[in-house]
A = this chain, B = another copy of it.
C-alpha cells in the first residue's frame, strides 16, 4: 500500500512538519526503518535515533524538533503507532459467506456480510448482526445475540441466551455461559442449584483465549463496554466488571463481586466473592483481594494491603530469619543486663 504523508496525518490526526507529499509504503522500528517507511518515537530513549534514521517520516511527540526530517506530531505517539499499524496491516477481509458445513437453526436471523465457517453450530432463535464472523467449531446455544462486527474465534462455546454486544472479540477456546458453581448442602452431598441467569458482554469487549465466564444464578454476569481480558481468566457467576477494565492472564474473580470502571487486575490475581472494588483501582499481579477496595487504590499481596506497604513488607521479608536471631540475642542481652543490674544494686546496697 502506498499513501502520502498527508493522508497518514489525517488518519492519525497529526500535524505535519515537513514534506506532506512524501510517499509511505511501510512501517518499521526506528533503527531498522528505510526509505518509504514511517517510524515512531513513543519512548524518550529512542529520541537519539531521530537524527540518523533512514525512515521517510517519524511520528513523534508534539514538542519534538528535528531539522530536515519529516515529522508527524501527535499527542500520544504510541496510540498513533497502533493506529498506523492497523491501517497499514488491515486484517484480510472475511468471505461474508455461510459455509454449508455449518449447522444453523432455521430461525436464526442474520445481518449483512456475516461469515460462518464450517463446523460452526448456531442454535434456535439466535440473532447475528452485520459483519459478524463465527469460526469453526464454535457452539452458539439458543437465543444468543451477537452484535455487529463481533468475531468469535475457533472452539468457543457460548451458552443459551447470552447477550454479546458489538465489535466484541472472543478468542479461541473460551467458554461463555457455563453454569455458575452453586450448590446447597444436602447432608454431606452437594445439591446443584440451577443457574438460570445469563452472561452479558457489552460493546468493544475483548475476551482472551481459554477464559471461562459463568452464567449468573439469576439475572446476569456482566462485562461492560471496552473491558479486555487476557488468557485463562475465570469469572464466576453474578460478577459485574465495569467499563475499560484490564484483566491480566490467569486471574480469577469470585462470585457476585463487583468491579468498577478502569480497574486493572494484574496477572494471577484474584478476589474473594461478594466484594466491591472501586473505580480506577489497580490490583497488582498475584494479589488476593479479600475485602472491598475503595476507588483509586493500588493494592498488592494476599490478603491485599496498600501497594507501598506491601513493597516495604516484601523488602523486609528476607531479613526475617536474621530478625528472629537478633530477637533471641537481644533477649539474652536484656536478661544479662537485668541480672547484672540486680547484682550491682545488691552490691551497692550492702
Contact = CB atoms under 8 A, between A and B. Distances in A.
Interface of A: 76, 78-79, 81-83, 85-86, 89, 91, 99, 101, 103, 117-119, 121, 135-137, 139, 153-157, 159, 169, 171-175, 178-179, 181, 183-186, 188-194, 196, 204, 206, 208-210, 212, 214, 226, 228, 230-232, 234, 236, 243-244, 246, 248-250, 252, 254, 261-262, 267-268, 270, 272, 285-286, 288, 301-303, 305, 309, 312-321, 323-324, 326-327, 330-331, 333-334, 337-338, 340-341, 344-345, 347-348
A268 B267 contact: no
A339 to B, nearest CB: 11
A267 B214 CA distance: 15
A216 to B, nearest CB: 13
A341 B344 contact: yes
Contacts of A175: 155, 171-173, 209-210, 231
A119 to B, nearest CB: 5
A85 B180 CA distance: 15
B136 A190 contact: no
A202 to B, nearest CB: 13
A318 B288 CA distance: 15
A181 B262 contact: no
A236 to B, nearest CB: 7
A161 to B, nearest CB: 11
Contacts of A315: 321
Contact of A172 (B178, B190, B303): B178
B348 A344 contact: yes
Contacts of A103: 99, 101, 118-119, 136
